[in-house]
């Protein structure tokens, strides 16, 4: 009886974490994005030409998981300004804490705060592929295919010269790390305990979003250094799409 219960919990964790779906015609687990690929977090602004091949005036980015030449919508949640950019490469090495590397032009167009450049990235390309990493808690390799069509995309006119720039209102620094959403509370609690036991992070918690959705969060964090240090500790689990959420 105990063995069956343990097996049941393990299967729940395996099947319901990270929005998985099973291909009945294959022994492998296929992980499909139910919506377009989306991530919120901090970007690295290449204003000092750290990456020499990224032109400062281009509308291009570096990303670790999206296919080259994928089209993405990048939004500044602080002012809701957005633009369409293209992934120049997914082979460039940079800290996993950053969800992308942006050109100087993109940062300026979106009026990002260079001290905490918080952005949302949404994949727009119909046939672009999300390259998932192999996680330690799973035995099978995972692949994710982006299949969602593009509907109702509006592109800001970048040719309009701005004469008056609005001053960005400074907001309090308060962010949390979204680890994953789970179908069952028990599996969310298992993940929370693993985070505490395996990487010594003690400020994780489980919040109930609905009867069938439980989210594991870490935080809140009041400074970017502590947030970054904790985020990098989570690299141990090899989650392919950790997000940083702004606390409201």
pLDDT at residue 82, as a whole number: 96
Angstrom distance (rounded) from CA 191 to CA 109: 39
Angstrom distance (rounded) from CA 186 to CA 180: 13
We report the CATH number of the domain holding residue 200 as 3.30.70.1070
User: How far, in Å, are 84, 110, 142, 159, 214 from residue 162 at the CA level?
Assistant: 18, 12, 45, 9, 44
Instruction: Give strand pairing partners of 71.
Output: 86
- Cβ pair 76, 111 in contact under 8 A: yes
pLDDT, one tens digit per residue, over 202-246 is 999 999 999 999 999 999 999 999 999 999 999 999 988 899 999
Q: Is residue 14 part of a domain?
A: no
Q: Is residue 15 part of a domain?
A: no
pLDDT at residue 75, as a whole number: 97
Q: Are residues 236 and 223 in the same domain?
A: yes
Q: Is residue 39 part of a domain?
A: yes
Q: Is residue 19 part of a domain?
A: no
pTM for the whole structure: 0.67
pLDDT at residue 90, as a whole number: 94
Q: Which of 148, 171, 194 finishes a domain?
A: 171
Q: What is the DSSP string of 6-42?
A: HHHHHHHHHHHTTS-EE-TT-SSEE---SSS-EEEEE
Q: Are residues 66 and 123 in the same domain?
A: yes
What's the DSSP call for residue 184? S
Q: Which of 144, 171, 198 finishes a domain?
A: 171
Chunked into runs of 10 residues, the chain (248 residues) has average pLDDT values of 49 44 31 63 92 92 93 95 95 94 96 96 71 39 32 40 49 91 95 96 96 95 95 92 90
Q: Is residue 93 part of a domain?
A: yes
Q: Are residues 56 and 44 in the same domain?
A: yes
CA-based angle 226:51:60, to the nearest 5?
A: 95
Q: Are residues 182 and 81 in the same domain?
A: no
Q: Are residues 206 and 153 in the same domain?
A: no
Q: Are residues 120 and 226 in the same domain?
A: no
Domain residue limits at 95: 31-171
Angstrom distance (rounded) from CA 134 to CA 132: 7
Angstrom distance (rounded) from CA 67 to CA 119: 19
pLDDT at residue 129, as a whole number: 54
Q: Is residue 8 part of a domain?
A: no
Q: Are residues 181 and 157 in the same domain?
A: no
CA dihedral 247, 85, 109, 163 (to 10 degrees): -140
Angstrom distance (rounded) from CA 89 to CA 66: 8
Q: Is residue 162 part of a domain?
A: yes
Q: Are residues 155 and 181 in the same domain?
A: no
We report the CATH number of the domain holding residue 44 as 2.40.40.10
Q: Are residues 50 and 77 in the same domain?
A: yes
Q: Is residue 142 part of a domain?
A: yes
Q: Are residues 49 and 101 in the same domain?
A: yes
Cα end-to-end span (Å), the chain: 44
Nearest CA among 118, 59, 120 for reference residue 84: 59
How many domains does the chain divide into?
2
Q: Are residues 146 and 179 in the same domain?
A: no
Q: Which of 152, 171, 190 finishes a domain?
A: 171
Q: Are residues 140 and 54 in the same domain?
A: yes
Instruction: Give strand pairing partners of 65.
Output: none
């Amino acid at each position: 009886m105990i063995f069956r219960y343990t097996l049941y919990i393990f299967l729940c964790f395996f099947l319901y974490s990270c929005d998985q779906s099973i291909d009945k015609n294959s022994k492998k687990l296929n992980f499909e994005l139910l919506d377009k690929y989306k991530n919120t977090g901090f970007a690295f602004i290449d204003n000092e030409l750290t990456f020499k091949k990224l032109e400062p005036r281009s509308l291009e980015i570096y990303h670790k998981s999206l296919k080259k030449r994928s089209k993405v919508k990048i939004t500044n949640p602080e002012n809701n300004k957005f633009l369409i950019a293209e992934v120049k490469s997914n082979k460039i090495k940079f800290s996993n804490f950053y969800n992308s590397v942006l050109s100087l032009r993109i940062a300026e167009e979106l009026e990002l705060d260079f001290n905490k450049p918080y952005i949302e990235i949404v994949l727009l390309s119909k046939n672009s592929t999300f390259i998932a990493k192999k996680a330690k808690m799973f035995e099978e390799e995972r692949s994710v295919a982006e299949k969602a069509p593009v509907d109702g995309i509006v592109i800001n006119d970048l040719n309009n010269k701005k004469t008056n720039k609005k001053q960005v209102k400074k907001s309090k620094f308060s962010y949390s790390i979204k680890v994953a959403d789970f179908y069952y509370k028990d599996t969310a609690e298992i993940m929370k305990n693993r985070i505490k036991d395996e990487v010594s992070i003690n400020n994780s918690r489980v919040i109930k979003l609905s009867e069938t959705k439980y989210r594991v969060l870490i935080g809140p964090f009041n400074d970017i250094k502590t947030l970054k240090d904790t985020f990098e500790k989570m690299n141990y689990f090899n989650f392919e799409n950790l997000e940083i959420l702004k606390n409201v």
